[in-house]
Structure 1
Amino acid sequence: MAKFCEVSINGIKIRAELASNPLTQSLGLMFRKGLSDGNGMLFDFKLELFPKIWMAGMRFPIDIIWADKEKKIVHIAHEVQPASLFDWQVKTSSRPARYVLEGPAGFTRKNKITVWDEIKLKLII
């Protein structure tokens, strides 16, 4: 059963499905039909790394946010386009990150979310 958390950035709330194990992290939003406003997927890698996000098998564009262990946004990729299953191009942060949030394309610009903003996490039971 999927677990969810509420991600809050500057008062903007996103209901994010948790990708907390290798299988859910490797699948991500792959093969899904879309992502509605106010929803997303949160990856917690437990350690600060340079997590790579690939768009193979995606059917829609997304915004991607990387945040460090202090929950400060360190990088944002806007309106990242889907790729074929054979396209191995990846997106990554220029700084180490523990968390990655995938959200609807355009939501970061629409809500004026920027690098160094803080994310707040609350588990939804």
Structure 2
Amino acid sequence: MNTLEISPFLLLMTLMSCCLPTQANTNIYYPVSFPERQIDIKVEIAATKAEREQGLMYRTDLPTNTGMLFVYAQPAVLEVWMKNTLLTLDVVFLDGKQHIVSLLDNLPPCRHSPCPIYRSALPAQYMLELPGGFIKQHQLKTGEYLSLPKR
């Protein structure tokens, strides 16, 4: 019989999603970091379907070193679009072990339908949206590790 391996972080976020407001724009930030580069970031968590659908839509500002971490129950080729997103974003896709598997930089806002759909190059379990230019500024590369909160 196969068993499903769930990371402690994913379990925590799933359990918390029942008790947090349904909007991801709660301004509750969690610390994450790229320890190899000594980069600390504060992220909002989008763990439910409703939170992931809302994402960073309609935001007019995303402060430096902040972002949104999208959490999925299973790895898959993840898709993102920029509909109603007013900011240029960088997107980092991470596998279940929190290593970068794909990067998209400087995705432009989409003001008119149809909006293009962007995909991770490989299956991912987490998607991290950051201000546009972050990937280039910090020279992020595939294979690097993102440390998630240990709670």
The alpha-carbon deviation at position 27 of structure 1 amounts to 0.7
Q: How far apart in 1 are the matches of 2:44 and 2:150?
A: 10
* Residue deviations 1:77-105 (CA, integer Å, cap 9, x gap): 01110002523311111100000000011
The corresponding residue for 2:142 is: 115
State the structure with more CA Rg.
Answer: 2
What is the root-mean-square deviation in Å for CA atoms of aligned residues?
Answer: 1.5
Counterpart residue number, 1:67? 94
Equivalence for 1:28: 55
Q: Which residue does 2:114 correspond to in 1? A: 87
- The one-letter amino acid paired with 1:37 is T
Hey, what's the Cα distance between the residues in 2 that align with 1:102 and 1:53?
10
Aligned-pair distance for 1:66?
Answer: 0.2
Q: Alpha-carbon deviations, 1:31-62, whole Å to 9, x = none?
A: 11121101100001021011111100011101
TM-score, normalised with respect to structure 2: 0.77
SS at match of 1:24: helix
Q: How many residues align structurally?
A: 124
Hey, which of these two has a bigger chunk of strand by percent? 1
Specify which structure has the bigger relative contact order, considering alpha-carbon pairs within 8 angstroms and separated by 6 or more residues: 1
- Identity %, equivalent residues: 26
Structure 2 stretches of 5 or more lacking a match?
Answer: 1-20
Structure 1 residue ranges without an equivalent (≥5): none
